[in-house]
Structure 1
């Protein structure tokens, strides 16, 4: 299941942890149901550290907040350091972290999935290299990293180790997903779309043919969360934030003709009313989610795992049937939806940290990967899950898990865990609805990984000139794109592309491309 499958020490610590908890089913923070334990490090005052955490808005009010809940308390009772968690909104994480860094109030440990951002912080001097500290203070992580040499390139920036990471489980490699209402397809006698053109035709039917049968023109064909634009990009084998090898030359995704084609397709969907036109102001995607879960949308550009959306849709529309959809092919062929690299979260150390705090932080990460990560993912044994065949954690109560545990995964910033898609039915609660989704979840994960995602090089160039240019260029190019998509005849995709390339050149893109080519030639053996 993972490298050190259900280590005996973890089993002991979990058993101790639940002694005080399994006597009560109360969900109130601080109640007798809150996790208890005696797995803490040696007695005495603990060093205090602070760590960023993504705020996804999923902590129920009765559980507390991201800063204070049953799991933050459990961590501070059992970990070798006392942790203050600093929430940053998931949709604006980098902006918020950068603001905190600029003001001198950033947490000690700063993490992101985006290696480009970590490289940017390294080049700015906001984080520090930690090679010697891992060797000096780590035990578990040091051993783990020596057994996973494929992670070294992700952690290395300018020849030094600037972050700690662990391997992604297969469910972490998959990221984006497309869902479609199969019952709508069946009702309207439509086939599953396999090309960009067929997707448009299906969307038109979903808009005009009253698929929900209420006699009103109130359905929206396509809604999406934050992954949507990247899903459209994937149809055209491009990502605006990636570099590509075009005939052996390094080119930035947003300067390619394929990028123009993705803008044109997005504009076509918008102009025909096939996208919810309020998506520009739906910054937290709550409107999109509501439209999907109330049965008013037919296609959802989102993530491969949408359990909450599935269950809420079934509550509102019991006969609804949502199924995963493969990415559709464009004139460039079929490209997989976005898939992550093997490295998971990248945990960086604030450059203002002194050695005593660095020592405490590394020992905390050792503890998290050795003992804490499984608790954060699955809760307490015999309270939230039981072990099947001494290996597979099976949820005991889906609603209880959703309420009390699902948000805790945010705290497992390093983890030695991996699973298989076919385990989902055994892992899920055994009620009919949970089992229905578990089978769908297996199907969705396999669908998400079925087609290889185009990534010409493992990592983008991380030299300072590239990071600075892209940071300046990104909002300008985004503004041009939004104008082209939503502005009607005000700007064509061709004009938008001309403007994007003009801005790229104005900001020094030609020189950065030259430097990127030199960087690639120097590092290409490292970028496979």
Structure 2
């Protein structure tokens, strides 16, 4: 769930172009046989004896070598009798390994991936007989997922492509509390020491940052405080101006934030803050490890961070070192008092899920096996793990045990969870809100969630999919634009490029093809609205 740096984003876009080429190459080879018909009576279909399953390790990579060691999958094998041979790409090499797998034409039975972001899109993958269209298989052999989609037409719209295909057993997050997990975060103890309230506007933020710079809130008699760390700032402050750092919509019209006049106001503000010492001068070279050192070293006053790995982790790290240490998740600030800013929120379905390979010999059995996770027993298993080990039922509420919440080996909650279930990153099941109610256990985390939810999300886009014809050119255009935009953003902030050259920046982005990219996104939104 972490944001990518611009360099990572650029690599991802380049990977999409590579995938498009590989799909094209694959289509020239002998395609796998089409899926068998769904004439087998549902009552005659059994769980498969075995299957092969490709998936990223996610958070589990730090505590195990394979999903076969995970509590939920070990228990699933006991219940279904299905032996799963897991295949995991090395961490950080997922896209490259996915590309190579597609190019080889030798696909496992199940592929768990972010299919919505694959170049040419999942519809083309179905046409080229790489993966199966699942609509009829789900309707006949997956009663649990069928019920989920029937009960939530909004989710069914998201998991169905523009051409009417359902292509994965999806990872679904149906509640808003599961979709908002990061935001602006401030040292509450510094606010208290300086007699300040939690800021809600850009003007109030600036006054607070000045006070952090000049008021010696860390009490060491030195002017060494870092008022704000710029990492991931585009999530925090650009929304104050009613735009995003990428594509968004005004009504049903697609726009691109960095070429709007409001973006100039945004970078002008950040440039002023940088010159006045309100931003970390070394923000561009500050990684996660250095960020941790600045926060735990009592130097950093505010930043954008996650509720679990940020607010919760820092509170726990500092509770013995500095009992007065306290964080507060602040509302997304607005540039206009009384008007809500745009906030962060993921899509309930972002294209992540498990596809069935077109070469699988027993798709009906595989579909039945995957559908188990959407039933009541499977839902509990993949959200809470093994009863008596990772959770226990208390008045009908699945409560995580100390094995998870206070791990005897000292594992953070996220890693302790990963030993038993994939609930805090991905999979093919419906994420349960009762997970997040316990994962954000501290009062500071609960307040952060409440404040971050109090934001406008009306301009955020659903997950959109370009057509196969649009995909390659779009990926190429945006790879170049994202690289250029990120470089110029830093130059504007640090003063290496005069703000007066903003119009030239806009014209350059236009010359790189942004209008064509906007047309692709507009067409995708129009198709989405017609689903």
TM-score range relative to shorter protein: 0.7 to 0.9
Would you say 1:406 and 2:386 are equivalent positions? no
Alpha-carbon distance between aligned partners in 2 of 1:133 and 1:43, rounded to the nearest angstrom: 14
Q: Give the stretch that moved more between structures: 94-103 or 46-55.
A: 94-103
Alpha-carbon distance between aligned partners in 1 of 2:239 and 2:220, rounded to the nearest angstrom: 34
Alpha-carbon distance between aligned partners in 2 of 1:127 and 1:207, rounded to the nearest angstrom: 56
* Aligned partner of 2:374 among 360, 369, 388: 369
Q: Could you say if the C-alpha distance between residues 376 and 169 of structure 1 is closer, same or farther in structure 2, counting changes exceeding 3 Å?
A: same
User: After the TM superposition, which residues 181-200 of structure 1 pair with which residues of structure 2 at under 5 Å, given as runs?
Assistant: 181-200=187-206
1:302-324 deviation per Cα after TM superposition (whole angstroms, max 9, x unaligned):
22343223211323322111111
SS at match of 1:440: helix
Q: Which residue of 2 aligns with 1:502?
A: 508
Alpha-carbon distance between aligned partners in 1 of 2:521 and 2:317, rounded to the nearest angstrom: 47
1:389-430 deviation per Cα after TM superposition (whole angstroms, max 9, x unaligned):
222525335221746632354366133453369x94xx58xx
Would you say 1:288 and 2:284 are equivalent positions? no
SS at match of 2:324: coil
Alpha-carbon distance between aligned partners in 1 of 2:154 and 2:389, rounded to the nearest angstrom: 36
The answer as to whether partners of 2:383 and 2:432 remain within 8 angstroms in 1 is: no
Shift of 1:184: 0.2
Alpha-carbon distance between aligned partners in 2 of 1:496 and 1:135, rounded to the nearest angstrom: 53
Q: Which residue of 2 aligns with 1:32?
A: none
Alpha-carbon distance between aligned partners in 2 of 1:245 and 1:116, rounded to the nearest angstrom: 23
Alpha-carbon distance between aligned partners in 1 of 2:221 and 2:387, rounded to the nearest angstrom: 50
Alpha-carbon distance between aligned partners in 1 of 2:242 and 2:113, rounded to the nearest angstrom: 28
* Aligned partner of 1:253 among 231, 251, 257: 257
Shift of 1:301: 0.3
The answer as to whether partners of 1:465 and 1:512 remain within 8 angstroms in 2 is: no
Q: What root-mean-square deviation, in Å, do the aligned CA atoms of Structure 1 and Structure 2 show? A: 3.8
Q: Which residue of 2 aligns with 1:235?
A: 240
User: After the TM superposition, which residues 18-57 of structure 1 pair with which residues of structure 2 at under 5 Å, given as runs?
Assistant: 45-55=49-59
SS at match of 1:301: strand
The answer as to whether partners of 2:218 and 2:299 remain within 8 angstroms in 1 is: yes
Shift of 1:136: 4.3
Q: Could you say if the C-alpha distance between residues 153 and 87 of structure 1 is closer, same or farther in structure 2, counting changes exceeding 3 Å?
A: same
SS at match of 2:422: helix
SS at match of 2:361: helix
Would you say 1:455 and 2:449 are equivalent positions? no
Would you say 1:137 and 2:138 are equivalent positions? no
Shift of 1:97: 4.5
Q: Could you say if the C-alpha distance between residues 230 and 359 of structure 1 is closer, same or farther in structure 2, counting changes exceeding 3 Å?
A: farther
Alpha-carbon distance between aligned partners in 2 of 1:171 and 1:381, rounded to the nearest angstrom: 25
Shift of 1:505: 3.7
SS at match of 1:329: coil
Alpha-carbon distance between aligned partners in 1 of 2:469 and 2:250, rounded to the nearest angstrom: 19
Alpha-carbon distance between aligned partners in 2 of 1:103 and 1:480, rounded to the nearest angstrom: 34
1:102-129 deviation per Cα after TM superposition (whole angstroms, max 9, x unaligned):
56687642333x9455874545766553
Alpha-carbon distance between aligned partners in 2 of 1:322 and 1:280, rounded to the nearest angstrom: 24
Normalised by the length of structure 2, the TM-score is: 0.74
Shift of 1:203: 2.0
SS at match of 1:296: coil
Shift of 1:327: 0.8
SS at match of 1:82: strand
Normalised by the length of structure 1, the TM-score is: 0.74
Shift of 1:329: 0.7
Q: Give the stretch that moved more between structures: 203-212 or 257-266.
A: 257-266
Listed as ranges, the gaps of 5+ residues in structure 2 are 1-44
SS at match of 1:186: helix
Shift of 1:240: 3.2
The answer as to whether partners of 2:228 and 2:300 remain within 8 angstroms in 1 is: yes
Q: Give the stretch that moved more between structures: 331-340 or 439-448.
A: 331-340
Q: Which residue of 1 aligns with 2:384?
A: 378
Alpha-carbon distance between aligned partners in 2 of 1:515 and 1:486, rounded to the nearest angstrom: 28
Q: Could you say if the C-alpha distance between residues 417 and 118 of structure 1 is closer, same or farther in structure 2, counting changes exceeding 3 Å?
A: farther
Q: Could you say if the C-alpha distance between residues 304 and 74 of structure 1 is closer, same or farther in structure 2, counting changes exceeding 3 Å?
A: same
Alpha-carbon distance between aligned partners in 2 of 1:402 and 1:481, rounded to the nearest angstrom: 36
Q: Give the stretch that moved more between structures: 237-246 or 322-331.
A: 237-246
* Aligned partner of 1:214 among 216, 220, 223: 220
More relative contact order, 1 or 2 (CA 8 Å, 6+ apart): 2
Shift of 1:186: 1.2
* Aligned partner of 1:86 among 85, 88, 105: 88
Alpha-carbon distance between aligned partners in 2 of 1:44 and 1:249, rounded to the nearest angstrom: 47
The answer as to whether partners of 1:266 and 1:485 remain within 8 angstroms in 2 is: no
Alpha-carbon distance between aligned partners in 2 of 1:224 and 1:314, rounded to the nearest angstrom: 25
Q: Which residue of 1 aligns with 2:22?
A: none
Q: Which residue of 1 aligns with 2:317?
A: 312
Listed as ranges, the gaps of 5+ residues in structure 1 are 1-40, 429-433
Q: Which residue of 1 aligns with 2:402?
A: 396
